[in-house]
Amino acid sequence: MERLQQQYNKEIAPALQKKFAFNNVMQIPKIRKVVVNIGLSKVKEDKKKVDEVAEELKKITGQAPVKTKARTSIAGFKIRENQVVGMMVTLRGYRMYSFLDKLINVALPRVRDFQGVNANGFDGRGNYHLGLKEQLVFPEISSESLDNIFGMEVSIVTNAGKDEPARELLKLMSFPFKK
């Protein structure tokens, strides 16, 4: 069992139940999944670079990404129908907790001039969205072998239903919010 998952089971869940006075343990908010999205704006026409980006995303998340394709052609953006325009990975269970632990304790502190993440990234339903400008913050990626820098969006999906219990859940997981 991952360290963050053990911490959730032993410390975080009881603290949340006590703070919000949940009668049933099924009401306690928990993280359902983590979705990592990448857009391939500059490299979408080069198959070799698309495969390189897929390999880097696989190194970061520990899971092979799904290539997302354009539904319709858009001439202004030079996109054809069924062309690969992005990649996504949905993490659950052990890999999810492992990725979150790496994101919180290793990757986010390596961001240049890091002051904390924005506390307003919640969507009103208890899900948190975070954008990273480059993949170099993850230790698996070496800057010497890097050809293209890409950003990514990390969506943390919870079953909280409201922002306040989800915010408290992430705070107790040591998520570095701005003061």
Complete domains list, the chain, with CATH: 30-172 (3.30.1440.10)
**Quick one: CA dihedral 163, 2, 176, 116, positive or negative?**
negative
**Euclidean distance between CA atoms 87 and 66, whole angstroms:** 5
Say what the pLDDT of residue 144 is. Answer: 67
CA 28, distance to chain mean position in Å, is 21
Q: Is-contact 150 141, C-beta < 8 A?
A: no
Task: Confirm if 127 and 32 have CB atoms less than 8 A apart.
Answer: no
Answer yes or no: pTM beyond 0.75.
yes
d(CA 32, CA 158): 5
- pLDDT tens figures, 76-95: 777 778 777 789 999 998 89
With beta carbons less than 8 A apart as the criterion, state whether 16 and 169 touch.
yes
Q: By C-alpha distance, which of 35, 10, 28 is closest to 91?
A: 35
How far CA 43 is from CA of 47, 56, 147, 150, in Å, comes to: 8, 14, 11, 10
Q: Which residue has the tokens 């915010």?
A: 167
Task: Enter the tokens of residue 37.
Answer: 């999205």
Q: Given this model, what pLDDT does residue 90 score?
A: 95
Report the pLDDT value the prediction gives residue 145, as an integer from 0 to 100.
65
Query: Residue 158 has what pLDDT?
Result: 92
Give pLDDT tens digits along the chain (179 positions). 678 889 989 999 999 999 998 898 888 999 999 999 988 877 767 778 888 888 888 988 889 999 888 888 878 777 778 777 789 999 998 899 999 988 888 888 888 888 888 888 888 888 999 988 887 778 787 776 667 778 889 999 999 888 889 989 999 988 888 87
DSSP 86: E
**Res 1: pLDDT:** 64
Place of tokens 């500059």: 42
